[in-house]
Structure 1
Amino acid sequence: MSSSSSLEKLASLVRELCKLPAETEWLEFKRNRVDHEQIGEYISALSNSAALCDRAHGYLVWGIDDATHEVVGTTFDSSAAKIGNEELENWLLRLLSPKINFSFSTVELDGLRVVVLEVGRAYRHPVQFMHNEFIRIGSLKKKLKEFPEKERELWRIFDETPFEAMIARKDVREEEVVTLLDYPAYFDLAGIPLPENRAQILERLAAESLIRRNGSGAWDISNLGAILFAKRLEDFGTLRRKAVRVIAYEGGNRISTLKEQVGARGYAAGFEGLIGYINALLPSNEVIGKAIRKDVPMYPDLAVRELVANALIHQDFALGGAGPMIEIFKDRMEVTNPGTPLINVERFLDTPPRSRNEGLASLMRRFGICEERGSGVDKVVSLTEAYQLPAPEFAIVSDHTRATLFAHKELAKMDKIERVRACYLHACLRYVQREYMTNATLRERFGITIQNSATASRLIKEAVDAGMLRPYDEAAPRKFMKYVPYWA
């Protein structure tokens, strides 16, 4: 979408808002009044009220008379506003919970300056500002706790409205639907012949809940349709920050960046291209066999695919301003997604996954983009063992989840934390396969010779002392001792 086209749409939006007979729960007009804390409270109130009114966005518009709705212009400039040395947007985002999507835009109407604050609707949790939740009662801003019936209704809406069913773009014409969505990619992934006419294409997309016809006879594109099959995520304002970022660094830190790319397409339509781009950036190992030199990937392709797919599927879309990120270093690859997991990171191998976005996960599995339920992390751990790599790490970093694959490292160069993690995940993998970890299986995992079985015994003792393993049978002879994860 061109900049001029964006401004035209913004001007058209403001004119439509001005036609409303009065301010609403999801709309507030201002002239010039600027109070930074008030703006934060309005973001909370408009976001929560938009959810109650089933609106995709709420709006605070400066430069409009709130009584007559005439364009009067404003001197407010969000880009110049600061609280101390901190920019207004960063300050607001820091004090909002969860960190929802909002944006300031400026447009000229009748030669007068108008500023529009667009606020995404609340999803899954009421939006707080400075630890308080707000709501709009008519055109008045109030604390949500003062209206328990509104709070109950809001939670009911959260329970009934998954992210995938919410609207990414409303009132789209038929010809726009096929322009905005990469519909051939859907039919290719679904293994269905491409229909001969537009009506059949739209019918099939609607059957998958990617689009739906609205009351005005036009089409609404759902979040599910946009996040999976958008030709350009930038065309969907609330989702543009959910594009995947891939960053390759020169060394083992973030000081020097070699390449950075932000994905443009929807997750399903662009997945193969994304994996191809990542693999092209990954380092490789040179292997010599029978006098033939060949390069092999540093990390198993299936492990990379699974971790990237998991990051897309299990992210928390309620966290604004952040999307999945893949970072490639000289010695590791980190895959990070917004949101903390719904299960303990230490139990990823044995606990069936729980997804916040079940519709998204279901389609991604159907398309073969990720593994069947419950087998993905098992395969990641199994493949890293087969490649003789250090064990992957699964961790919570702030309000994000991070999975890390490590480049090859000799056992002698691993620190205690790496050794214990490898022993623990090896025991978990054996346990979910209905087998047990032993000195022999650990030797095979690390490539330790039988003559050095004492080394494996020391590794096991480290993991037991760390509380990550326990003997399956305390009374068993040491030679026949078996081990299981601490929780087994």
Structure 2
Amino acid sequence: MSAGITSEARLVARTIALVSDLRAYPAEVSWVEFKENNKDPQLIGKLISALSNAARLADQSFAYLVWGVRDGDHAAVGTTFQPSVEMQNNQPLELWLAQRVQPSINFTFEPIDYHGVRLVLLKIPAAPSSPVEFDRTAFIRIGSATPRLSDYPERLRALWAKLQPYVWESGLAAQFLSGDEVLARLNYAAYFDLTGQPLPDNRAGIFERLSTDRIVQRDVGGHWNITNLGAVLFAKALADFSPSIARKAVRFVAYDGASRADTVIHRQDEQRGYAAGFQGLIDYIDGLLPRNEFIGKAFREDRPLYPSIAIRELIANALIHQDMTVTGTGPLVELFADRMEITNPGQPLVSPERFLDSPPRSRNEALAALMRRMRLCEEQGTGIDKVIASVEMHQLPAPDFRTEGNAVRVVLFGPRRFAEMSPEERVRACYQHAALRYVSGQKMNNSTLRERLGIESQNASQASIIIRQALDGRLILPADPEHPRAGYVPFWAGSRP
């Protein structure tokens, strides 16, 4: 496509390509529907509701209804439907529909000249904040049927689960504030510093950039709102906002023993927003960690007991993956005499066993995207890889990723000799080592596992026992069953091509 093409022509070309992609599906998917000439207003209204809700469930930004495409074979046959001239109850069709669709969504009808055939495309945004209803009833698309959403409670629950994070991030932490009040509550200088943007020399420029990243939004009468996203990231003091925001502060607690019943020797509730206070929190924790003496080639140096990169990545993960809709609690970091535990509220989106290899997913996409942009967490979801790699380099026991109640907990263990590790800990280290090797394009074998666990070569049988236990637990698989010396891979590698 030439550089001189007009924006209008580019839009037309994109629309034609979109229709071609939709026609290429072997069957109608839940968020796409084809019609020829059916222009029943009641049916169109139900389909707007059903397709919008289905799009949100399918993680699609839009749903589509196309007239002029035959349902059976998706052939482009053309249509006589003209939405711009259709009337219902003495009202233009589009207005009549808009009055009956709640919450209001910006659906649009678009006539298309598709390779000489006239089509009509209805573009429907995915449900934004609550299930989309038509005439006070929400619908859903299941196969070729359009039943009421309330008749399928499992889909209704799944839809709300998709909608709640969206609602939270775009919700309002404070409303109808003057410009001075906004700047007094937010560390806007940290926003510009962390995003690598020069600080504008006027207030209009500051608010333009903050609103672009949805930190604030314009309210009526020349006033402003601070979004939940803006407050939780850049608050000067989270306590200045409602309890639902204030309780999201990161808590740090250090004990003088291995139990929560032991004496608390340090406690800090980080009142700054996550982005504004992140480095300060990491530095504070690092300053409290026990140190080990490391002798290099020429110098002695003190190193923290736990790898700094592991702590940084795990705390960042706890911030961005927490379920913000769980009230009354936020991320918690606890330091014991023999371990560190990092807990965030909410069930994980993927199984803890798959944290290492799964593509990055977050309930809080805007928060995660902005923190990645500010380089406070990993861009490509490699944070857990770095955690496990750094743990192996420090010869520490394998971290434990687990679900406890309605929370995710990660445990980093202090140094422990191989003889002091439990069978479960040894097998967990074997699995994580195999997974880390696999994502690095390598295979685990007896030799690499011995090096990982500090087993001397004359005790190779000990590594063989651990490998057998991991095989029996279906955590690893032979890389090539016909060639035992080919090494081992994690259990999920067997499902990949």
C-alpha displacement at 1:430, in angstroms? 1.2
Matches within 5 A, 1:346-361: 346-361=353-368
Work out whether 1:243 is the aligned partner of 2:243: no
Unaligned runs of 5+ in 2: 1-127, 132-149
Residues 161 and 473 of structure 1, relative CA distance in 2, 3 Å threshold: closer
C-alpha displacement at 1:157, in angstroms? 9.9
Instruction: Check whether the contact 2:165–2:325 (CA below 8 A) recurs between aligned residues.
Output: no
Work out whether 1:218 is the aligned partner of 2:227: no
State the distance in 1 between where 2:215 and 2:453 align: 47
C-alpha displacement at 1:288, in angstroms? 4.2
Matches within 5 A, 1:378-397: 378-397=385-404
Residue 321 of structure 1: aligned partner: 328
TM-score using structure 2 length: 0.65
Residues 254 and 194 of structure 1, relative CA distance in 2, 3 Å threshold: same
Q: 1:173-209, CA deviations, whole angstroms, 9 ceiling, x for partnerless residues?
A: 0000110000010111011111112221111111111
Residues 249 and 160 of structure 1, relative CA distance in 2, 3 Å threshold: closer
Q: 1:255-289, CA deviations, whole angstroms, 9 ceiling, x for partnerless residues?
A: 12111110110000000001011111211112345
Question: Could you say what the CA RMSD is over the residues aligned between the two structures, in angstroms?
Answer: 2.5
State the distance in 2 between where 1:254 and 1:432 align: 36
Instruction: Check whether the contact 2:176–2:220 (CA below 8 A) recurs between aligned residues.
Output: no
State the distance in 2 between where 1:306 and 1:167 align: 28
C-alpha displacement at 1:450, in angstroms? 2.7
Instruction: Check whether the contact 2:443–2:486 (CA below 8 A) recurs between aligned residues.
Output: no
Aligned length: 343
Instruction: Check whether the contact 1:245–1:326 (CA below 8 A) recurs between aligned residues.
Output: yes
Residue 374 of structure 1: aligned partner: 381
Q: 1:90-112, CA deviations, whole angstroms, 9 ceiling, x for partnerless residues?
A: xxxxxxxxxxxxxxxxxxxxxxx
Letter in 1 for 2:415: H
Q: Secondary structure at the match of 1:185?
A: helix
Instruction: Check whether the contact 2:476–2:491 (CA below 8 A) recurs between aligned residues.
Output: yes
Work out whether 1:331 is the aligned partner of 2:332: no
State the distance in 1 between where 2:246 and 2:420 align: 42
Instruction: Check whether the contact 1:283–1:330 (CA below 8 A) recurs between aligned residues.
Output: no
Residue 271 of structure 1: aligned partner: 278
Instruction: Check whether the contact 1:287–1:294 (CA below 8 A) recurs between aligned residues.
Output: yes
Residues 222 and 411 of structure 1, relative CA distance in 2, 3 Å threshold: same
Work out whether 1:185 is the aligned partner of 2:190: yes
TM-score using structure 1 length: 0.67
Residue 452 of structure 1: aligned partner: 459
Work out whether 1:484 is the aligned partner of 2:489: yes
Instruction: Check whether the contact 1:436–1:484 (CA below 8 A) recurs between aligned residues.
Output: yes
Instruction: Check whether the contact 2:236–2:272 (CA below 8 A) recurs between aligned residues.
Output: yes
Residue 432 of structure 1: aligned partner: 439
Residue 402 of structure 1: aligned partner: 409
Work out whether 1:173 is the aligned partner of 2:169: no
C-alpha displacement at 1:124, in angstroms? 8.2
Residues 160 and 299 of structure 1, relative CA distance in 2, 3 Å threshold: closer
Matches within 5 A, 1:3-82: none
Residue 79 of structure 2: aligned partner: none
Residue 314 of structure 2: aligned partner: 307
Work out whether 1:227 is the aligned partner of 2:236: no
Q: Secondary structure at the match of 1:318?
A: coil
State the distance in 2 between where 1:251 and 1:214 align: 51
State the distance in 2 between where 1:285 and 1:157 align: 45
Q: Secondary structure at the match of 2:247?
A: helix
Residue 461 of structure 1: aligned partner: 468
Instruction: Check whether the contact 1:313–1:357 (CA below 8 A) recurs between aligned residues.
Output: yes
State the distance in 2 between where 1:451 and 1:349 align: 31
Q: Secondary structure at the match of 1:487?
A: helix
Residue 411 of structure 1: aligned partner: 418
Residue 22 of structure 1: aligned partner: none
C-alpha displacement at 1:125, in angstroms? 9.3
State the distance in 1 between where 2:354 and 2:372 align: 21
C-alpha displacement at 1:158, in angstroms? 3.1
Matches within 5 A, 1:137-148: none
Letter in 1 for 2:490: P
The structure that has the greater radius of gyration is 2
Identical-pair percentage: 53
State the distance in 2 between where 1:254 and 1:286 align: 28
C-alpha displacement at 1:462, in angstroms? 2.0
Q: 1:5-30, CA deviations, whole angstroms, 9 ceiling, x for partnerless residues?
A: xxxxxxxxxxxxxxxxxxxxxxxxxx
Work out whether 1:254 is the aligned partner of 2:260: yes
Instruction: Check whether the contact 1:343–1:353 (CA below 8 A) recurs between aligned residues.
Output: no
Instruction: Check whether the contact 2:434–2:488 (CA below 8 A) recurs between aligned residues.
Output: yes
C-alpha displacement at 1:164, in angstroms? 1.4
State the distance in 2 between where 1:235 and 1:446 align: 49
Q: 1:338-396, CA deviations, whole angstroms, 9 ceiling, x for partnerless residues?
A: 00110011011111121000000000000010112220101101110011011111000
Letter in 2 for 1:176: E
Letter in 1 for 2:356: L
Instruction: Check whether the contact 1:228–1:269 (CA below 8 A) recurs between aligned residues.
Output: yes
State the distance in 1 between where 2:317 and 2:288 align: 20
Residue 13 of structure 2: aligned partner: none
State the distance in 2 between where 1:375 and 1:424 align: 17
Q: Secondary structure at the match of 2:465?
A: helix
Residues 427 and 157 of structure 1, relative CA distance in 2, 3 Å threshold: closer
Residue 57 of structure 1: aligned partner: none
Work out which structure has the larger RCO, using CA pairs closer than 8 Å and 6 or more positions apart in sequence.
1
State the distance in 1 between where 2:460 and 2:352 align: 30
State the distance in 2 between where 1:348 and 1:160 align: 20
Letter in 2 for 1:241: R
Residue 199 of structure 1: aligned partner: 204
Letter in 1 for 2:210: L
Q: Secondary structure at the match of 1:484?
A: strand
Instruction: Check whether the contact 2:418–2:454 (CA below 8 A) recurs between aligned residues.
Output: no
Letter in 2 for 1:474: P
